[in-house]
Structure formats: structure tokens, C-alpha cells
Amino acid sequence: MPASACPGLFITGTDTGIGKTVVGCALVRALVRQGRQVVVRKPVESGCERHEGGLWPADGARLMEAAGSRGLARITPHRFEHALAPDRAARLADRPLYLADLIGACHAPDTERSFVVVEGAGGFYSPLAEDGLNADLAQALGLPIVLVAPDRVGVINHVLLIAEAIRHRNLSLAAVVLNHCEAPAPDGMDNGADIAGRLPIPVMRFPQESDPWSETVADQIVQHISPGIHRD
């Protein structure tokens, strides 16, 4: 298994737009409540809007706020306007992006004595750079992975496929987090139980972000995965 230079987590998902940042921010706040010094990284973000003459990485900014930190330029150094996979968005901006750029951003000096939380972009096999996918960045960093998935019909297949891909790369899957979906669930659906019966890891449900219990659930998730993640 690749060795990480620092303790931390890699947040990935089954797809784009399924709540990685919502869950990631909640986990960051839970880690801070544990007394950890948390450094966040969203090394590349596409779909950024123009703001005061520059591109504003909304997800990176939310992670920064959750960690109570500063330095958005270090958190999300690579920003692109087109709401596409980062490799294509970078190409359209005439700024080709390479895996080494993203690895370097995640290994910035202020991560050396901290717990680092890195959020990818899109799903585990979504392209990030000319020469790499989210999976390649995760493998290079060697951090335990939290897989975020929408709690809806069809997600079992997606989760099991990605879990197999993670095992194939000799990485550690720390937990699956089933994020709340607005659409009502069919009678009898229990993705949590069905996935937990097939994977030997914590499978936790995360409520709607506005739910007052969401922070408590985040604390519980961190407690469940703590034995499987590196400590300071």
C-alpha cells in the first residue's frame, strides 16, 4: 500500500454532484472538534465563477471555512471556468494540468504536521489531469478513502464497483457515506444494510445538510473510521 507522508483522508464519490463537499466539510469540522490540526486540499476545481477579477472555487472555500483556516490559493490552486472534468476544463483554458501538479499541491509544506483532508473532483475514475484520474491521485497520496454516494436506487452497484477498484489499487476504503437524497426512497429500500452486508467497513447514512443532527452524525462517522486512519 502506498505510504502517506502525513495522516489524513481522501474524499471521493461515485459521481459528481452527490455531496462530497457537504460530507467532507462535516467530517473536517468533526476532526477539528477532536482537537486535530486539519489542513484541507481541493487541488483542482472546475466550474468556478468569476468573482472580483478571478475564479472563485466555491468548494475549496467551503472546505477552508470548515477547517477554520486561510490560504485559499494553497487549498485550491488550480481553478477553471468550464463546468467539465478538470482535464478538459484545463485544456480549454490552454493550461494543461498534470498529476504532478496536483500531488505537489497536496504535499504543500503546511501539511507536514497536520491531518490532511483531500477532496477529489467527480467520481473515483473521473479524469483529473492529462495523465491521471482521481484514482491515480488517491494512489499517489496513499490516504485512506471515504467514498460518498447518493442514497438512492442503483447505488449499490456503483459503490461495489468503486470498492473493487480501490482494492485493486491496494488502497484502504475507510468508509462509505450514503448522502441524503431529496427524492423519496422506494418502500423497503435499505442501501446501508445491503452494502454493509457486502463490505467489511463502516457504512453510514448522512442526513440533509440542514438537519440539526448532521454534525452529530459526522462525529459518529469520524469515530467509526478512526481505528483505520493514521494518527499524529
Task: Report residue 227's pLDDT band, with 50, 70 and 90 as the boundaries.
Answer: low
Instruction: Return the pLDDT at 5.
Output: 55
Grid coordinates given for 106: 497536496
pLDDT digits (tens, 9 = 90+) for 87-120: 999 999 999 999 999 999 998 666 666 899 999 9
Task: Report residue 66's pLDDT band, with 50, 70 and 90 as the boundaries.
Answer: very high
Residue 230 has pLDDT above 80, yes or no: no
Instruction: Return the pLDDT at 206.
Output: 96
Instruction: Return the pLDDT at 53.
Output: 80
Residue 197 has pLDDT above 90, yes or no: yes
Q: State the chain's mean pLDDT as an integer.
A: 92
Instruction: Return the pLDDT at 97.
Output: 97
User: Which residues are CB-neighbours of 222 under 8 A, at least 6 positions away?
Assistant: 27, 30, 31, 34
The one-letter amino acid at 147? L
Q: Model pTM?
A: 0.93
Q: How far apart are the first and last CA of the chain?
A: 19
Q: What is the percent of the chain with per-residue pLDDT over 90, rounded to a whole number?
A: 84
Residue 231 has pLDDT above 60, yes or no: no
Residue 4 has pLDDT above 80, yes or no: no
Q: Of 165, 173, 114, nearest to 143 (Cα)?
A: 173
Candidates 36, 41, 42, 79; catalytic one: 42
> Is residue 42 among the annotated active site residues?
yes
The residue ranking higher by pLDDT, 226 or 203, is 203
Instruction: Return the pLDDT at 183.
Output: 85
Residue carrying the nine cell digits 477498484: 165
Instruction: Return the pLDDT at 228.
Output: 61
| pLDDT, mean of residues 56-74 | 96
Residue 123 has pLDDT above 90, yes or no: yes
